[in-house]
Every structure is written in C-alpha cells, then in structure tokens.
Amino acid sequence: MSVREKSQIGRAALLRGLHFWRRGSAALLLLAGTFLLIAASTKAETTNGLSDAEIQGRQLAQQLCEVSVENSTNTGVLKIRNAKGHRTEVPVKCTITVTATNWSSRYEAKFGSNITDVTTLVVTHCDAESNRYVLFENEKTTRVSGSVSIHVGMGLSGNRTMIPFAGSDFWLADLGLEFFHWPEQKILKKEIKRSRACTVLESKNPNPATNGYSRVVYWIDTETHGIVQAQAYDANGKLLKEFYPKDFKKVKGQWQVGSMDIDNVQTGSRTRLEFDLKAP
C-alpha cells in the first residue's frame, strides 16, 4: 500500500465501517444561509470565555458529527473475550436508514435461533439535536397482547448510554459517537500516532457517571480526519478503554475498515468488531 493510499484510509474508512459518512446536505446549506445573521450575532456569546484550543475543538467535533449517509446494510461479528478469557462470537447486522428529517443506524446482535435471542440498538441522528437511543434486549423486546407481538424498546440518553452492547466492550455511546456531542471539546496538541500526523482532540463529559466516561481523547488524522486511536477515561481520571481500527480493505475502489478493536484495560476484556467486506 502506497503512502498516498494510506492517507485515504483514515476518517472515511473508519466512518464507512461504522456506517457514518460526511453529510453534504443542500438543505443544511440553505438553512445555514437563512440563519447566517443570527449565527453571527450569537457567535460572540457562544464562544465567550473559550480559548482558541476550545473553539477549534468544538469546530472539529462538529465536523466529525456532520456525516453524510445513504441506505445500506452491512454484516459482521463481535468477537468478545471477557475478563476470564472466555471467547464468544456474536453475529451482527448494521443497517442505515435515511429519511427526510433524520437518519438512523440499527445494530442487531443475534445470540440464538429464537426470535427473542436478539439485542437491537437504534440510534437516531437529527440535525442540531442530540442522538436518540432505543435499546431492545432479548426477552424484554417482545410482549404479547392477545395474538399480537408488540416490540418494546427502552429509550436512553446521556450517561445511560454507557452500557455494553450485546455483552461486548462497545458501549451504546461508542456506537453513537456520543462524546462528539459533549459541550466541552478541546485541541490538546498535534503529534505523530501510528505513523500518521494527528490532531489530538479531547472531549469532556460535564456530568460523568461513576461507571461512565469522564473524558475521551482521540488522535484524528490531520489529512483525512480518520480516528487513528482513542482513549476513554473513567470518573476518577484513570484510563478505562483503548480503541483503534485495523485491517483496512479496499472495496469498490474505497478503503473501508475490516475490523476495529476496543480494549478494557481495567478488566482485561477485549472486543473485535469484524465487518464482512467483500471485494468485487
């Protein structure tokens, strides 16, 4: 792989692996033009008291949130090794659905042959709004009313999204990239990470839960905006998790992530999410 090809992997490849793309909506451009004067008048207020590093951090986080999507389906497997070394493989399906007002990512993890042996997470992404999470878990997914099965989901937000998805080291917040929506964003420095020139971005949780993330630090590829590596810290400021994509593959002329690892350094557990990427 040439240096030029590697430079194209970064952000685009990672976001395709998770079904996130940069958004290029004409409607957004129109909206931005309509409210240009309002934005200009409130800019001083919203950035008042912020350092340049904090203003630039907010801008970068916003860029990473503004993703372009299209309807698609991808399959893969969660390879989980728990703290005791026990290994489990859970098939997953990731589906993107785009509507006129929002788009959603649906993650389905299949544990068995029964209809209730499925854990499903639906993350709805709306412009200028926080993500909405709905979790359907196993036997809690369905209740019967007469002869009709009704799917019952649990709505979650904020720190309540910091729970495992399908028993893996990936939390709901990880799959929704929730930390990019936190109000405190800051550029820490620029440095080389995994042979790539990176901008180091820090996101802070204003109200961290005891068992959640207090802050997340990521190395963003300066050229491609790809997440080269990320570290999440607990409420006491101790390193909790490390995340990094790997195994890039070229599919239909575009680089995509073949797999990504997330390690819980405090428990010793690890989860690898492998995508079924088939080259033409």
Average pLDDT over residues 66-91: 89
Higher pLDDT, 15 or 256: 256
Average pLDDT over residues 85-91: 95
132 in a structural domain: no
Euclidean distance between CA atoms 116 and 136, whole angstroms: 10
pTM (2 decimals)?
0.76
47 in a structural domain: yes
Give the model confidence (pLDDT) of 139-171 as tens digits: 554 444 444 444 567 889 889 999 999 999 999
Give the model confidence (pLDDT) of 200-240 as tens digits: 999 999 999 999 999 999 999 888 778 889 999 999 999 99
DSSP state of 27: H
pLDDT at 278: 65
Domain with 67, as residue range(s), is 3-88+168-275
* Six token digits for residue 156: 């979650």
The CATH number of the domain holding residue 224 is 2.50.20
Average pLDDT over residues 72-77: 90
Q: Is the pLDDT of residue 15 over 50?
A: no
pLDDT at 115: 61
CB 180 within 8 A of CB 61: yes
218 in a structural domain: yes
> Cβ atoms within 10 A of the Cβ of 123, count?
23
| Count of CA atoms in the C-beta half-sphere (13 A) of 126 | 8
Euclidean distance between CA atoms 32 and 36, whole angstroms: 6
120 in a structural domain: no
How many domains in the chain? 1
42 in a structural domain: yes
251 in a structural domain: yes
135 in a structural domain: no
241 in a structural domain: yes
